[in-house]
Amino acid sequence: MIDLVSAALDDDHQLDKFDCGAPSLNDWLVAQAYRAKESGTAKTYVWTRAASDQVIAYYAIAPHLVSRAEVSGGLAGGVSVIPSCLLARLALDGSVQGRGLGGQLLRDALERIVEAAAIGSGRLIVVDAVDDQAASFYRKFGFRPVKDNPQRLVHKIATVRKNLQG
């Protein structure tokens, strides 16, 4: 097993060698993650190996709103706009793919989102899968597609909280 450190992105982290195989995810990390941090639009968390600053995995989370029209009635909870958290990005470097770490990275992200929701509230976790394979990955963890968009998936924070505790 790899000894991993999970931390908020900072100036010491090395991003230049990160390659998950999806250019849009690689490019966002290098070109946008620091800008999102500075502007307050998203917070990026990274994984490194112990005693290294080279990023081998990351995810970004951001506050989000979902319209009631997008989701089924039970998820809306009687409101027209649903406070949510967007899991904006989630990626593993190719050097660590295929080891079952994707589920662990997702769990790390979900734990942070649940913790944030306990402080600031929120009803849903939203992901926009980059492709069908990613959508299938999220469905394995209980995420369900919204109406008319199979690659936008949601999960109730309350359910995730229960699953993490149990």
HSE-up (13 A, CA, CB side) for residue 38 = 6
Q: Which of 45, 58, 59, 138 is catalytic?
A: 138
For the question of residue 34 being annotated catalytic, the response is: no
* Residue 127 Cα distances to 53, 61, 95, angstroms: 27, 10, 24
Active site residues: 138
